[in-house]
Amino acid sequence: MNEPPAYPFRNPTALEPPPEWAELRRSCPVAPIRLASGDRALLLTRYDDVRQVLSDPRFTRQLDAPDAARATAQESGGVFGSLGRSMTGDEHRAWRQLVGRAFTARRVTAMRPRIEAMAGHLVEEMAARGQPADLVSGVGFPLPVWAICDLLGVPDTDRDRFSYWSDTLLSMTRYGAAEIDAAQAEFDAYLVALVEAKRAGPGDDLISELLAMVEGLDGRLTERLMLSTAKGLLVAGHETTANMIGKMASMLLADRSRWEALLADPSLIPPAVEEVLRFDANPGFGMPRYLSDEVEVAGETLPKGTTVVCSLAAANRDERHFERAGELRLDRAPNAHVTFGVGPHSCLGQALARVELQTVLKVLLERLPSLALAVPPGELERREGLIVGGLERVPVRW
Amino acid sequence: MKVVVDEDSCCGAGQCVLLAPEVFDQRDEDGIVVLLDSEPGEERHAAVREAAAVCPGAAIEVEEG
């Protein structure tokens, strides 16, 4: 019997999807794969199947079950170990409703002017340092941390320290264990002090609001939970959006007629953001689920105890659902891509991510209309990371 | 056009509010959808259809006619 293919698959170049996605969608919608840990799982690549699985509570997030497949041999949780994984049903619903108030479209829209000012500041600073410049380190990585600081009520003067801690905690391969432990301890101490400061003098921010609810709700949300919430927001909202900023700019600049179209008609910015989210060829691992019951998917009966991995990016290119799925079309509508997941666990911060991406694109178009890639698109380097995919650098000129 | 929302399926993504703020809103306390206008005028139909199509919870139903 053949050994199942190793997953994740390799991209031919940074902006092109692995050919396996289209092959499996066509001929093997429930595909056996081998993960880096050596464990086996089943990969789903079709749009309808991915939607079905993510909407069905029998496909659980209990990925710490003894017989669940592990992504890597030394998996300690990573992104999927963050808050919310072990919660199910009512517990998850309650937590989500508490934090959900931070991310209503109205609240996030109200943040737009401040995000635009932050993006403007970062783009000006990058431009002042001269060209070529790296859009990833200059704008992509700082902006989402600054936005989270704003949301949490972290003073502007502490943003750089906050960025450092976040980078250290997330980029597990770039720092030594001692440095990570030290950053973790400093970060915890900082958050505890921040929570204390907000208790003494509440502001118009998420921590103050959550604190008020903890009192009102009789300890329902403990301080510990609040700290993990703050960290959860960073884990979920920093690297993901940061990488997407670099990938978005690369996709739009790789064919400069796209950039020109956006310059000519800025009303294309919102649909263009949805389209690059759909078209992302470097999304990372995908969404794993552990099956608590026997369920049929794509005509196949999957036994209880199966681990499935939903490839959201492969589903996003399913020609059964998207007309001319393999083309990037700036005005695609409706665009029901599944990049943020679907169902009760879909991304809590998606409105914030959208506003950040729309805003940074608007600022780049306005301030650096002559922006261009400083290397051929085929030479862009992928960031090697298992969970969140991105580009190492996006060198640009203007 | 008649619009119906299902609060239980809503996951608070806010896509509908971004697309059609005159028709949809979210509750302050938990981000769950609030229907502002169950029979929106013609000029909003395209936005409402799009909101229903992209809702990650499939919580919006549109009855045409």
Question: Cβ B49–A101 below 8 Å, yes or no?
Answer: no
Cβ contact (<8 Å) for B54 and A335?
yes
The H or E element containing residue A43 is: strand A40-44
CB of A340 less than 8 A from some CB of B = yes
Cis upstream peptide for A303 (omega within 30°): no
**How far apart are alpha carbons A163 and A94 in whole angstroms?**
29
Query: What per-residue confidence (pLDDT) applies to A172?
Result: 56
Three-class DSSP category at A82? coil
Cβ separation of B13 and A333 shorter than 8 Å? Answer: no
Contacts of B29 in chain A (CB under 8 A): 97, 101
Q: Is B13 on the interface with A (CB under 8 A)?
A: yes
DSSP sequence for A149-189: HHHHT--GGGHHHHHHHHHHHH-TTTS-HHHHHHHHHHHHH
Domain boundaries in chain B?
Answer: 2-63
CA distance A65 to A297: 21
Instruction: Specify the DSSP class assigned to residue A6.
Output: B
Cβ of residue A216 closer than 8 Å to a chain B Cβ:
no
- Does the distance separating the beta carbons of A98 and B53 come in below 8 Å? no
Q: Is residue A201 left, alpha or beta, with left meaning phi > 0 and alpha meaning psi from -120 to 50?
A: beta
Confirm if B53 and A336 have CB atoms less than 8 A apart: yes
What distance in Å separates the CA atoms of residue A355 and residue A346, rounded to the nearest whole number? 17
Cross-chain Cβ contact B12/A55 below 8 Å: no
Whether domain B2-63 has CATH 3.40.50.720 = no
Alpha-carbon radius of gyration of chain B? 10
Contact B30 A100 (CB under 8 A): yes
Q: Between chains, do A108 and B53 touch, taking CB under 8 Å as contact?
A: no
CA dist A85 and A75 (Å) reads 14
- Reported as type and span, the H/E element at residue A295 is strand A295-297
Beta bridge partners of A297: A300
User: CB distance A109–B26 less than 8 Å?
Assistant: no
Tokens standing for residue A350: 């998606």
How high is the ipTM of this complex? 0.89
Q: Which domains are seen in chain A, by residue range?
A: 20-141+238-397 (1.10.630.10)
DSSP for B11-65, please give it: ----HHHHH-TTTEEE-TTT--EEES-SS--GGGHHHHHHHHHH-TT--EEEE--
Is the CB of A341 less than 8 angstroms away from the CB of B56?
Answer: yes
**A98 at B interface, C-beta within 8 A:** yes
Which positions in chain B touch A347 (Cβ < 8 Å)? Answer: 13
- Which string of b and e fits A242-261 if b means at least 16 CB within 10 Å? bbbbbbbbbbbbbeeebbee
Cβ contacts from A onto B, under 8 A: 75
Per-residue pLDDT of chain A (398 residues; tens, 9 = 90+): 578 999 999 999 999 999 999 999 999 999 999 998 899 999 999 999 999 999 998 998 888 888 888 876 554 433 344 444 556 667 677 777 777 777 888 889 999 999 999 999 999 999 999 999 999 999 999 999 999 999 888 998 998 898 888 877 766 566 777 888 888 889 888 988 888 898 899 998 888 887 777 665 555 455 666 777 777 787 778 888 999 999 999 999 999 999 999 999 999 999 999 999 999 999 888 999 999 999 999 999 999 999 999 999 999 999 999 999 999 999 999 999 999 999 888 888 899 999 999 999 999 999 999 999 999 999 999 987 556 789 999 999 99
On whether any CB of chain B is under 8 Å from the CB of A4, the answer is no
| Distance to chain B for A99, nearest Cα, Å | 8
Provide the pLDDT for residue A62: 84
Chain A closest CA to B40's CA: distance in Å? 19
CA distance B48 to A39: 44
CB contact under 8 A, A103 and B17: no
Contact between chains at B30 and A98 (C-beta distance less than 8 A):
yes
In sequence order, the 6+-apart residues with CB closer than 8 A to the CB of B39 are B1, B2, B3
Taking the CB of residue A47, how many other CB atoms lie within 10 A of it? Answer: 23
Asked if A30 and A303 touch (Cβ cutoff 8 Å), the reply is no
Contacts with B26 from chain A: Cβ below 8 Å = 104-106
Q: How far is A140 from A159, CA to CA, in rounded Å? A: 15
- State the Cα–Cα distance between residues B54 and A274, nearest whole angstrom: 11
β-strand A307-310 against A287-291: which pairing, if any?
Answer: antiparallel
Contact status, residue A373 vs residue A394, Cβ threshold 8 Å: yes
Residues 40-79 of A with CB under 8 A from B: 55
* Contact status, residue A24 vs residue A47, Cβ threshold 8 Å: no
Q: In chain B, which residues have their Cβ closer than 8 Å to the Cβ of A352? A: none
Which DSSP letter does residue A23 get?
A: H
Mean pLDDT throughout B34-40?
97
CB A79 within 8 A of CB A236: yes
Looking at residue A377, what DSSP letter applies? Answer: G
Q: Which residue of B has its CA nearest to A109?
A: B18
Cβ distance B17 to A55 less than 8 Å, yes or no, reads: no
Q: Are A380 and A13 in contact (CB under 8 A)?
A: yes
